Amino acid sequence: MRIILYECKKILKLPLLVIIILFTLLFYNLFMDSQYYPNDDASLAAGVDLAHILMDKYQTVLPYSEMGILQEIKQQQLQSLDSLVQHNEVLQNAGVKDYQQLRGMDMDAVGKEIQEAFWEIDFDKGIREVFLYQGIDNIEEHMEYAPFMGIEKGREEEAAKKICESQIAQDGDEATIKRVAQVIARNEMSLLPTGAFNRMAEDSSKFGVLLLFSCLILILPYQIRERLAHVNPLFATTNTGRGIFGKRYIAAVLSCLLVCLLQAGAFLSVLFKVGILKYRFCPASGNGWDYLWFDMSFGGYLTLSISITILFNIAIVSVFYLISRIALNYIVGLAIGLPTAILIGILYIKVMNYFLFVGHLRQLYVQFGFIAGGLLLAAMIVVILHFRDRKRDVMV
Amino acid sequence: MLTLAKVTKKYGNHTAVEDISINMENGLYGMLAPNGAGKTTLIKMITTLLLPTSGEILYNGMNIWEMGTAYRDLVGYLPQQFGYYKNNTPTQYLNYLACLKKMPKKQVAGRIAELLELVGLSDVAHKKMKKFSGGMLQRVGIAQAMLNDPKILILDEPTAGLDPKERVRFRNIISALGKDRIVILSTHIVSDIESIANQVIMIKNQHLYQMDTVDAICNMLEGSIYELEIPNEEFESFEQEYQVLSARQESGHMLVRFYVEEEEGIPKNSVLCNANLEDVFLVVYQ
Ligand SMILES: Nc1ncnc2c1ncn2[C@@H]1O[C@H](COP(=O)(O)OP(=O)(O)OP(=O)(O)O)[C@@H](O)[C@H]1O
Ligand SMILES: [Mg+2]
* Contact criterion met (CB < 8 Å) for B79 and A241: no
CA distance A257 to A211: 10
Q: Is the pLDDT confidence value at A146 over 50?
A: no
Mark whether A144 and A241 lie in a shared domain. no
Across the A:B interface, residue pairs with CB atoms under 8 Å apart total 68
CB A287 within 8 A of CB A194: yes
Instruction: Say whether residue A236 is in contact with chain B using an 8 A CB cutoff.
Output: yes
* Contact criterion met (CB < 8 Å) for B101 and A393: no
**Torsion B127-B129-B134-B137 (CA) sign:** positive
Kindly list the residues from chain A whose CB atom is less than 8 angstroms away from the CB atom of residue B68. Answer: 241
pLDDT digits (tens, 9 = 90+) for A21-49: 999 999 999 999 888 887 766 666 767 77
Kindly list the residues from chain B whose CB atom is less than 8 angstroms away from the CB atom of residue A232. Answer: 83
pLDDT digits (tens, 9 = 90+) for B139-183: 999 999 999 999 999 999 988 878 888 888 888 888 888 888 999
* Position A266 in a domain: yes
CA distance A63 to A65: 5
Mark whether A247 and A357 lie in a shared domain. yes
What band does B14 get if pLDDT is binned at 50, 70 and 90? very high
Q: Considering every ligand atom, which ligand is closest to the CA of B37? A: 1
Last residue of some domain: A129, A163, A186? A186
What band does A327 get if pLDDT is binned at 50, 70 and 90? confident
Q: Is the pLDDT confidence value at A264 over 50?
A: yes
Instruction: Say whether residue B52 is in contact with chain A using an 8 A CB cutoff.
Output: no
Which residue puts its alpha carbon closest to atom 28 of ligand 1? Answer: B36
* Contact criterion met (CB < 8 Å) for B68 and A238: no
* Position A139 in a domain: yes
CB A142 within 8 A of CB A80: no
Q: Considering every ligand atom, which ligand is closest to the CA of B42? A: 1
- The per-residue pLDDT for B195 is 86
Q: In B, residues 80-119, which contact A (CB 8 Å cutoff)? A: 81-86, 96-97, 99-102
Mark whether A157 and A136 lie in a shared domain. no
Mark whether A60 and A198 lie in a shared domain. no
Report DSSP state, residue A181.
Answer: H
Kindly list the residues from chain A whose CB atom is less than 8 angstroms away from the CB atom of residue B47. Answer: 233, 237
Mark whether A25 and A77 lie in a shared domain. no
Mark whether A71 and A219 lie in a shared domain. no
Task: Give A325-391 as a DSSP string.
Answer: HH-SSHHHHHHHHHHHHHHHHHHHHHHHTTTTBSS-HHHHHHHHHHHHHHHHHHHHHHHHHHHHHHT
Beta strands in A173-276 (DSSP E): 188-190
Mark whether A142 and A16 lie in a shared domain. no
Q: Is the pLDDT confidence value at A215 over 60?
A: yes
Mark whether A294 and A354 lie in a shared domain. yes
* Contact criterion met (CB < 8 Å) for B100 and A394: no
* Candidate from A60-69, A238-247, B64-73 with smallest mean pLDDT: A60-69
Q: Give the total number of structural domains in chain A.
A: 3
- The CA-CA-CA angle for residues A271, A122, A100, to 5°, reads 120
What band does A190 get if pLDDT is binned at 50, 70 and 90? confident
Q: Which atom of ligand 1 is nearest to the CA of B80?
A: 27
Last residue of some domain: A92, A123, A149? A149
CA distance A23 to A16: 10
Mark whether A172 and A312 lie in a shared domain. no
Which domain does A120 fall in, by range?
42-149
Mark whether A274 and A362 lie in a shared domain. yes
Phi, psi dihedral angles at B2 (to 5 degrees):
-105, 125
* Position A339 in a domain: yes
What band does A150 get if pLDDT is binned at 50, 70 and 90? low
CB A322 within 8 A of CB A385: yes
Nearest one of A381, A378, A380, A391 to A242, comparing CA atoms:
A391
- Residue A54's H or E segment, with its range, is helix A42-58
Nearest CA in chain A to B52: A393
Write down the ipTM of this complex. 0.90
A40, amino acid identity: D
Q: Pick from A234, A240, A245, A247 the residue to mutate for testing the B interface (most B CBs within 10 Å).
A: A234
Mark whether A16 and A101 lie in a shared domain. no
- The per-residue pLDDT for A170 is 64
Q: Considering every ligand atom, which ligand is closest to the CA of B20? A: 1
CA distance B195 to A372: 65
- The per-residue pLDDT for A196 is 86
* Position A28 in a domain: yes
Strand partners, B272: B226
* Position A396 in a domain: no
Among B17, B35, B39, B189, name the best residue to mutate to test ligand 1's pocket (greatest count of ligand atoms within 8 A of Cβ): B39
What band does B7 get if pLDDT is binned at 50, 70 and 90? very high
* Position A229 in a domain: yes
CB B211 within 8 A of CB B200: yes
Calculate Rg over the CA atoms of chain B: 22
Phi, psi dihedral angles at A35 (to 5 degrees):
-60, -20
Instruction: Give the mean model confidence (pLDDT) for residues A137-161.
Output: 70
What distances in angstroms separate CA B123 from CA A59, B89, B92, B128, one per listed residue? Answer: 71, 12, 14, 12
* Position A212 in a domain: yes
* Position A287 in a domain: yes
Kindly list the residues from chain B whose CB atom is less than 8 angstroms away from the CB atom of residue A388. Answer: none
Mark whether A159 and A230 lie in a shared domain. no
Nearest one of A305, A293, A317 to A268, comparing CA atoms:
A305
* Contact criterion met (CB < 8 Å) for B144 and A234: yes
Mean pLDDT of chain A: 86
Which residue puts its alpha carbon closest to atom 6 of ligand 1? Answer: B11
Last residue of some domain: A127, A149, A171? A149
